[in-house]
Structure 1
Amino acid sequence: MALAGAGLFVAVSGVFAMADTDTDDGGSDDFSGKSSEPYFNPQLRDWADGMCESTASLRTLRADSVKQAERLREKAGEQASERESGSASKYLLRASEALDSISRDFGAVDSLTRLPDTERLRAGYLREIDRVRPEVRELSDADGLVGLSARERIGRAERVTSLVAAIKEPSPSWDDLVQSDGLFESASNSPGCMAIRQAERKRSEPAPPPIPAADGTSVAACADGACEVRVTKPVTHIKVRDLTLDVDRKETKVTVRHSYPSGGAVRVNLSGEGARGTFGRGGGTTVTVELKGMNKGNAVLGITLFS
């Protein structure tokens, strides 16, 4: 792609350097700078960051819509339940709000008039999103959902998943331009674009294998006060005789909480293997909870009853 004017960009180790030259009419080039040291041109950097953020949001919506479509297909032919209807309604509102937000984000990306392909790319995404947005908004209108049957709400969700799937990539697409144009390749290495790719890679990493636990995921095994269970859900309730323990699992720690019938609660954070907390009532059940091990998706707790 040729640049208008005499300003010259050179990609140097993934950053932008520019020779300090003047345009033919003696004016300053849009991207001119006084230093010949490698740097990220601020205008192109901001454009790339905005485009990467906007396209990442669109990918997230597409992935969410694919999952929703798969769930709807699995339930095809079954009698629609209120639970499935509620899930469909939530997806409809989420998809409509996401499309509005993504459209605003693409619209806010500054146009680089000296680089026509940047504007064609941005406008192409915006045109495709705005093509389906009015129908998605109409199908997702909260007032319009009132009074609809479960099957009708699910039908609307099915239509919106197909509309999202029909959003086309501009031609040439961002990936096409990155592969064929050195300027776009360098732009794709802006700080914002790199941070987004790293976050997406982290999210796409496979879940770690389960940590072995004597009683597996059966929290019912804890009822007698002696168990070793694997907790995989963000929130789990474990009953130990007359005690109820609320377990909140995060990536780096487990929080165990017990609420008293008369009010008040005890909460203990377990953030390392072997960490322990004791819960109980005077004259009643008392237990110790030990964190036996944890990783990103699993935490193993050992529960022991005090006699």
Structure 2
Amino acid sequence: MVKAGSVAVVAAGLVLVLGGCGGGGGTDEDADASGKGAAKATATPPPSEELVAWVGGMCEATTAIDSLRTDSAADLKEIRNSGEADLTAQAKAAGYLAGTPQAVENVESDLEDLDPSGVPAADRLRDAWLKKVRGVVTGLEGVTPGDAFKDTEGSTADVDRLVQSLTPPEPDLPALTKKDARLAAAYKSAEQCAPGWQPGEETESPSPDPTGPLPKAADGKNTDACSDGACEVLVTSTADITANGVNVHVSVGKDYVTFQTAGTLMQLGGAGGEAGFGDDLKATVVAHNKDGAVLKFTTP
């Protein structure tokens, strides 16, 4: 049997214990010293190198898409301003139709190279981008430079319409960083995500100074020297050249040298570019500036 006095002692002890747990008796310093203070928020750990690389790759791909859309709109405007039947417009359109599908395929490849990031929302964004880009790649199947001669305006406008459909899925990467601290930290660390970042130029052998004099062409302006398929001539504006049985109309502009035959049109910029005409002839741009171009014709 428990005596009454014992009960009183137990009750008193209970009151003392409860009093010690109350908010009025202790200080913050006491709580900290005892290790019983409120837990502080933990800092976000630094992002992994893999996640930074993934986010950087995504930023690089979206930058390429932005540039592709901007350049496509500018090219279409230039083609329209030149006129439907203008040779320069047709040459520009042919170059546009030749290069745009490859540029879109390059973006597709870059997105495919991105392994899962480990962040589900980010991976869904990558998949949404890839679906859009693949749709444009499919839409561009069958596009050829020759379409520029059949319908300069229509063919380029159709391609540009597809390119302009490459708008960012929602939520895009910047929006996702506001919801995920890991993505935010990786976005801040990835150099490709910095404002104004552009991919670096590949290091190549320098081209001849476009402001300097052109080198001397072995055959001067004598295009008749090309009849056997081997010559080096200077073209300052336009020329009709027959080389190894191939009739080539050459037009030298400020930025491009255009080669046109009955069935093909090729446009080269700078020096070192090559234009092939089947198994019969090859043309190389030796040098090109505002004064003209030195061209070398050879047989393969």
TM-score by length of 2: 0.50
Q: How do 1:142-157 residues align onto structure 2 when only pairs under 5 Å count?
A: 142=145, 145=146, 148=147, 150=149, 152-157=151-156
Larger radius of gyration, structure 1 or 2? 2
CA apart distance, 1:128: 0.5
Residue in structure 2 matched with residue 46 of structure 1 by the alignment: 53
CA contact (8 A) 2:177 2:187 kept: yes
CA contact (8 A) 1:65 1:161 kept: yes
C-alpha distance after superposition, 1:177-233 (max 9, x if no partner): 234433322221233325x6443499xxxxxxxxxxxxxxxxxxxxxxxxxxxxxxx
Q: How do 1:220-299 residues align onto structure 2 when only pairs under 5 Å count?
A: 248=210, 256-257=212-213, 259=215
Amino acid at match of 2:91: G
CA apart distance, 1:10: 4.8
Higher relative contact order (CA 8 A, sep 6+): 2
Match of 2:91 among 83, 86, 89: 86
CA contact (8 A) 1:48 1:188 kept: yes
Q: How do 1:169-248 residues align onto structure 2 when only pairs under 5 Å count?
A: 169-194=168-193, 197-200=195-198, 248=210
CA contact (8 A) 2:108 2:133 kept: yes
Residues 9 and 108 (structure 1), Cα distance of their counterparts in 2 relative to 1, 3 Å cut = farther
CA apart distance, 1:262: 8.6
CA distance in 1, matches of 2:86, 2:163: 24
CA distance in 1, matches of 2:182, 2:93: 42
- Aligned-residue identity in percent: 20
Query: More strand per residue: 1 or 2?
Result: 1
Residues 89 and 192 (structure 1), Cα distance of their counterparts in 2 relative to 1, 3 Å cut = same
CA contact (8 A) 1:103 1:129 kept: yes
Amino acid at match of 1:106: L
C-alpha distance after superposition, 1:3-31 (max 9, x if no partner): xxxxx9954xxxxx2xxxxxxxxxxxxxx
Residue in structure 2 matched with residue 100 of structure 1 by the alignment: 105
CA distance in 1, matches of 2:104, 2:217: 46
Residue in structure 1 matched with residue 158 of structure 2 by the alignment: 159
Residue in structure 1 matched with residue 68 of structure 2 by the alignment: 61
CA apart distance, 1:96: 0.3
Amino acid at match of 1:162: R
Equivalent position SS for 2:197: helix
CA apart distance, 1:132: 1.6
Residue in structure 2 matched with residue 282 of structure 1 by the alignment: none
Residues 10 and 160 (structure 1), Cα distance of their counterparts in 2 relative to 1, 3 Å cut = farther
Residues 52 and 201 (structure 1), Cα distance of their counterparts in 2 relative to 1, 3 Å cut = closer
CA apart distance, 1:153: 3.6
CA distance in 2, matches of 1:44, 1:71: 41
CA apart distance, 1:70: 2.1
CA contact (8 A) 2:52 2:186 kept: yes
CA distance in 2, matches of 1:42, 1:84: 47
Residues 149 and 58 (structure 1), Cα distance of their counterparts in 2 relative to 1, 3 Å cut = closer
Residues 60 and 261 (structure 1), Cα distance of their counterparts in 2 relative to 1, 3 Å cut = closer
Residues 175 and 69 (structure 1), Cα distance of their counterparts in 2 relative to 1, 3 Å cut = farther
C-alpha distance after superposition, 1:109-131 (max 9, x if no partner): 0112x411111010011001111
TM-score by length of 1: 0.49
Unaligned runs of 5+ in 1: 1-7, 12-16, 18-38, 203-234, 236-245, 250-255, 264-307
Equivalent position SS for 1:111: coil
Equivalent position SS for 2:188: coil
CA contact (8 A) 1:84 1:154 kept: no
CA distance in 2, matches of 1:74, 1:258: 31
CA distance in 2, matches of 1:50, 1:171: 18
CA distance in 1, matches of 2:42, 2:66: 30
Structure 2 residue 115 is matched with structure 1 residue 110: yes
CA distance in 1, matches of 2:54, 2:198: 20
Amino acid at match of 2:58: M
CA apart distance, 1:71: 2.0
Residue in structure 1 matched with residue 259 of structure 2 by the alignment: none
CA distance in 1, matches of 2:168, 2:90: 31
Q: How do 1:107-146 residues align onto structure 2 when only pairs under 5 Å count?
A: 107-112=112-117, 114-139=118-143, 141-142=144-145, 145=146
